Structure 1
Amino acid sequence: MKMLRFRSSSIKSLSQEIKSTIRLLDDTELPCIIQRDTKGQFLIDHVCNHFSLLEKDYFGIRYVDPEKQRHWLEPNKSVVKQMKSQPPYTMCFRVKFYPSEPVKVKEELTRYLLYLQIKRDIFHGRLLCCLSDAAYLGAYTLQAELGDYEPDEHPEGYVSEIKLFPKQTQKLERKMGQIHKNELRGQTAAVAELNLLEKVHTLETYGVDPHPCKDSSGATAFIGFTATGFVVFQGNKRIHLLRWSDVSKLKFDGKTFCAHGVQKEKKIVLTYHTSTPAACKHLWKCGVESQAFYKYAKSSQIKTVSSSNIFFKGRRFRFSGRVAKEVIEASSKIQRTPPEVHRSTLAQSRSYYSLSKQLITNVETTESHLPSPDESEEQSPTSQILPLPSLEHLETGLISNAPQSESRETCESKFENKEEYSEEALTLSELVYNPSASVLPTPVEDGGIDLLFNSHPLGNQRVEGDSYDELDADETALLMAEEEELKEVKQVLNRSFDLLTSNKQLNALAKSFTKLLLVGLGLMLIAFPLLLVLLESDIDASFLREIRQTPEFEQFHYEYYCPLRQWLVCKLHYILDKLGSS
């Protein structure tokens, strides 16, 4: 395969070529060579150009740092600075934002890539549903991969040779085979894939990338972000759903994550603890990006968000790219001849009937087995074959052993009024929601999810560096949170006062303050004229134009500077009128 080289105008950077590999959704690899200053957007565009993909805003590139923490590649930052590891780099092309309505995805190619992602989610336990729904998902996959049922080509027991689910019972296989044989004949691969997407997008766990956390009692919970909002799962229930319109703020400090919002007309604060600060930061970034993508009508409405308040050190983040509504609008205007979709089916890509004995390694199953985190997410599918993990080891509850009398309509009735979801606990299955440990945003070893927290006991203890206590989900909890912040502010002020009253340190403090004041005045003498040039002059130099076009400068200009200038002009006119009349 031809390697793409991203060249830079810098002579120095040309001599620093870095080999990279991007693993695609069908487990093939796309190699490329980048420079030290190549930004993430170039790699995203490279993959999309490889597919001839236009609806690319749903997708992203994921990588693993040396600490085995997953990240999404940021488009506007250098790839080398983000990876923080030694080349060659290995990254994975994955669905980052799941479309809320797959039927509005315009092109068959985009739907096929989304279908490949859903297959991964199903196999690794991210999706939880009742038995009848699982049977239809499996049957649609059989139709898409194998075509119409033919007795000569599909002998008895052919379904058992295909491992689509982490816990695949004979009852489920019988239902899958019956639906494939009797109900789906004549559906093309594209139609079967679309039907699967239409079915799966009604599930409560559709699009959930489960982040393992602990609540105040030490119980494991999974946090996710969907097109609907912020969700929390415990056991086999969805215990919280905060719609994006009801989420007022997402914050993190150390290992503590807080979601502020409104539920049943009451202000609530949901607080959870992660295993590491890096995991908490990743959780927060995923949350603010998802809220921006799904909530806003235009990307221009999105402002830079901060992870903390003004008194404490925090992280700032700004969403880049188009939001969901803009993507759908752009998709509706696509007029080109659809590109050819090159499907890699089970029968074409590998020995179909050997799947029960072996599985080509992929990102989710192999990360915990990697000899080095530098190899990122997976080994080459052509160089290593791993045995299929045992069901007892996976212990992932995708399907329910529901009674035989349960019908498809019973499961679908939960979703007839999708806009009427209840915030109450919703039972999803008879089995526990427990995704395969190797697919979690914070990778864990074979010991299981609890291993994440063994060295970080949370329970009822307060983690060092956390600035929030566990709060009850009612109005009192919000007041308690505000009181905690006020207490911390008072502590900071008290320490400052004690420092000022200390005779030994007073002189040193005065000198430091004087130096700081002089430096500040010097910077103001330089910055103030430059600011006036930016705001008031018509000079169209390239570096000034770039500064004026940044979102932060535009926000400052329109939201702060223009109102202030108008107020000053009004006051000046008022004073002049008074002086003239006297």
Structure 2
Amino acid sequence: MLSRLMSGSDRSLDREFNCTVRLLDDSEYTCTVQRDAKGQWLFEQVCQHLNLLEKDYFGIRFVDPDKQRHWLEFSKAITKQMRTQPPYTMCLRVKFYPPDPATLKEEITRYLVFLQIKRDLYHGRLLCKSSDAATLAAFILQAEIGDYDPGKHPEGYSSKFQFFPKHSERLERRIAEIHKAELIGQSPETAEMNFLRKAQTLETYGVDPHPSKDVSGNTAFLSFTPFGFVVLQGNRRIHFLRWNEVTKLKFEGKTFHIYATHQEDQKIILTYFAPTPDACKHLWKCGVENQAFYQFEKSSQVRTVSSSNLFFKGSRFRYSGKVAKEVMEQSAKIRREPPEIHRSGMVPSRSCPSITHGPRQSSVPRTRRRAVHISIMEGLESLRDSGHSTPVRSVSDGNSFLHSRGNGAERGNRTRTAEFSEDSYSPSDSVLSTPVSNDPSDQAQVRHTNGPRSNQEEGGTELCTQKQARPQGVKPKGKRSQLEKSRPIQHGPEARVNEFICSLARLFLVTLALLFALLILLIVLTESELDLAFLRDIRRTPEFQQFHYEYFCPLRRWLACKLRWMGGHLIDK
């Protein structure tokens, strides 16, 4: 805390500072920023530098000292979002992937999205089969070095470039075959367009993984795509919820909940655990922004959402940008000469680093992190890069999510497991996301879905009545009342104690009355068939449904079991 205060006081002395933004082609843009400048100003400067108009798909990302990623909020001052002293280093990335990249209006936008997806392929976020990987790599070669030329491209030329973290010679030969025979004559624009169309068909398109664990402690990768919420495990997509099926996203500490309604009004709750509370909050904010961007038709429909449950305030957040439909409508109105695109020729040290030149430079400031082991399999090796996670459980396993109506919540094509690669999904951490904690105690502390909470209350109150002693020497006859009336009222310590006990008794009785009233209301909500408007609204809230299925139903079964046992015990006697 003291270091934060000292760093804040140091920043207040400088009215301006330098900020460097690393672009998608690994070049850097540096500008001088005023101390009170907001994130929107910096983003506008970067877009002006790139001559970019379709800018709502992009965002600026930075990493804090704890290696947690954040998106720069445009409505807040830059200095208030940073935990370090200037100068600052950030990076420009695609924040919202276009549902169909071919519909983008300008070529400069498609080129930047092409660079982003190429990075996803290299770092392992875009995982696919060997055949699709060879096609995508061949499109990259065609877009950046042109047609195959025997004089310029000797045997094994495709091995000079590293499209993936690791790949086999067989895959390199297949990439060269496609580039030589099938892509001759394609211009860079055509090759990039074909690359985008092919990538858009893959199940991991738009995946920006967040590492987490399920209720059993197994690693999971959560992601928000243009089409919905995705959970990845191994080489499978074990959960897929469309945006119109997701009813609420909520987090409490490290625990992240996804409330969804499936076909036939089947409701499920998915529960995962993030490494840290900051990582969980970042996951929640990403989900809120993606759902607002892709689901709503107008930005005026976006409302402030809260991470709280029924009784606590929690965090509040509202997406303040345009939605996808508004962005496409605005793009259709663009009327200008296409800006010039300075494509960088594909050399081994740029977008696909050469094996002989060492590893590629990270797109964000480097920090020390544990190396990620990647097993090499025939064909496409496991691709790495990002920070999502997925539970190592099948869809039929009910421990990774909670059913509200039977075990049929995972039926249908939308939740069917789908394999998308020969290899397990193991992205690396090029953007320095928070590592997943391997400590099982973290899950034990927050595992609250395995039964009702039993609260045993022991207490007792003693209602004391004041005993009035008869004065000595006075007979209980006619003059008794006169003597008692003429006696002065004593306000000693005993009287004050008695008043305090009586007040506690009254408070206890009032509390019991309120609890009884709440119990009656709870029984009406859960057991009665009254279809009043306000009761119906309460029953439909995710918080009430969670309370009903996680706590009330198990508690009711427990009480029924105890009553049956007591009844049987009395009958036996």
Q: What TM-score, normalized to structure 1?
A: 0.68
Q: Name the residue aligned to 1:100.
A: 99
Distance 1:193 1:396, change over 3 A: farther
Q: Name the residue aligned to 2:271.
A: 271
Alpha carbons 1:213, 1:220 under 8 Å: kept = yes
Partner Cα separation in structure 2 for residue 150 and residue 246 of structure 1: 51
Partner Cα separation in structure 2 for residue 316 and residue 395 of structure 1: 42
1:454 corresponds to 2:446: no
Distance 1:34 1:154, change over 3 A: same
Partner Cα separation in structure 2 for residue 158 and residue 353 of structure 1: 13
Offset of 1:427 from its aligned partner? 1.0
Amino acid at match of 2:445: R
Alpha carbons 1:399, 1:429 under 8 Å: kept = no
Partner Cα separation in structure 2 for residue 231 and residue 222 of structure 1: 8
Q: Name the residue aligned to 1:426.
A: 418
Partner Cα separation in structure 1 for residue 129 and residue 351 of structure 2: 30
SS, match of residue 457 in structure 1: helix
Q: Name the residue aligned to 1:55.
A: 54
Q: Name the residue aligned to 1:326.
A: 326
Partner Cα separation in structure 2 for residue 137 and residue 246 of structure 1: 32
Alpha carbons 2:57, 2:96 under 8 Å: kept = yes
Q: Name the residue aligned to 1:469.
A: 448
Partner Cα separation in structure 2 for residue 363 and residue 503 of structure 1: 68
1:142 corresponds to 2:150: no
Q: Name the residue aligned to 1:296.
A: 296
Partner Cα separation in structure 2 for residue 278 and residue 219 of structure 1: 20
SS, match of residue 454 in structure 1: coil
Partner Cα separation in structure 1 for residue 442 and residue 12 of structure 2: 46
Amino acid at match of 1:462: Q
Offset of 1:437 from its aligned partner? 3.2
Partner Cα separation in structure 2 for residue 211 and residue 153 of structure 1: 42
Where do residues 121-270 of structure 1 align in structure 2 (5 Å cutoff)?
A: 121-265=120-264, 266-270=266-270
Where do residues 510-549 of structure 1 align in structure 2 (5 Å cutoff)?
A: none
Amino acid at match of 2:180: K
Q: Name the residue aligned to 1:412.
A: none
Q: Name the residue aligned to 1:345.
A: 345
Alpha carbons 1:107, 1:338 under 8 Å: kept = yes
Alpha carbons 1:125, 1:396 under 8 Å: kept = no
Q: Residues 19-57 of structure 1, C-alpha deviation per residue, up to 9 Å, x if partnerless?
A: 111111111111111122100001110110001100000
Q: Residues 296-326 of structure 1, C-alpha deviation per residue, up to 9 Å, x if partnerless?
A: 1111111000011241131100101111111
Offset of 1:395 from its aligned partner? 4.7
Partner Cα separation in structure 1 for residue 161 and residue 274 of structure 2: 36
Distance 1:150 1:352, change over 3 A: farther
Distance 1:350 1:100, change over 3 A: closer
Offset of 1:171 from its aligned partner? 1.5
SS, match of residue 422 in structure 2: coil
Q: Name the residue aligned to 1:314.
A: 314
Percent of aligned pairs with the same amino acid: 55
Amino acid at match of 1:429: S
Partner Cα separation in structure 1 for residue 441 and residue 321 of structure 2: 38
Q: What TM-score, normalized to structure 2?
A: 0.69
Partner Cα separation in structure 2 for residue 350 and residue 66 of structure 1: 27
Q: Name the residue aligned to 1:280.
A: 280
Partner Cα separation in structure 2 for residue 317 and residue 72 of structure 1: 14
For the aligned residue pairs, the C-alpha RMSD in angstroms reads: 3.0
Offset of 1:457 from its aligned partner? 3.1
SS, match of residue 437 in structure 2: helix
Partner Cα separation in structure 1 for residue 202 and residue 120 of structure 2: 12
Partner Cα separation in structure 1 for residue 132 and residue 198 of structure 2: 8
Q: Residues 64-98 of structure 1, C-alpha deviation per residue, up to 9 Å, x if partnerless?
A: 11222110000000000001211111011111010
Q: 1:435 aligns with which of 410, 427, 449?
A: 427
Q: Residues 161-183 of structure 1, C-alpha deviation per residue, up to 9 Å, x if partnerless?
A: 11001121111111111111111
Q: Name the residue aligned to 1:29.
A: 28
Offset of 1:469 from its aligned partner? 2.7
Offset of 1:357 from its aligned partner? 3.0
Alpha carbons 1:261, 1:267 under 8 Å: kept = yes
Q: Residues 252-311 of structure 1, C-alpha deviation per residue, up to 9 Å, x if partnerless?
A: 000000000023431000000011000000000000000000111111111000011241
Q: Name the residue aligned to 1:567.
A: none
Offset of 1:438 from its aligned partner? 3.8
Offset of 1:354 from its aligned partner? 4.5
Partner Cα separation in structure 2 for residue 367 and residue 286 of structure 1: 23
Partner Cα separation in structure 2 for residue 35 and residue 55 of structure 1: 26
1:357 corresponds to 2:357: yes
Amino acid at match of 1:259: I
Alpha carbons 1:299, 1:323 under 8 Å: kept = yes
Alpha carbons 1:124, 1:166 under 8 Å: kept = yes
SS, match of residue 94 in structure 1: strand
Amino acid at match of 1:83: M
Offset of 1:453 from its aligned partner? 1.1
Alpha carbons 2:349, 2:357 under 8 Å: kept = no
Alpha carbons 1:129, 1:399 under 8 Å: kept = no
Partner Cα separation in structure 2 for residue 217 and residue 354 of structure 1: 41
Gap regions ≥5 residues in structure 2: 1-10, 383-411, 458-498, 508-573
Amino acid at match of 1:178: E
Partner Cα separation in structure 2 for residue 264 and residue 470 of structure 1: 24
Offset of 1:129 from its aligned partner? 0.8
Offset of 1:359 from its aligned partner? 3.9
Alpha carbons 2:254, 2:274 under 8 Å: kept = yes
Offset of 1:329 from its aligned partner? 1.1
Distance 1:432 1:350, change over 3 A: closer
Where do residues 52-91 of structure 1 align in structure 2 (5 Å cutoff)?
A: 52-91=51-90
- Bigger CA radius of gyration: 2
Distance 1:165 1:350, change over 3 A: closer
SS, match of residue 347 in structure 1: coil
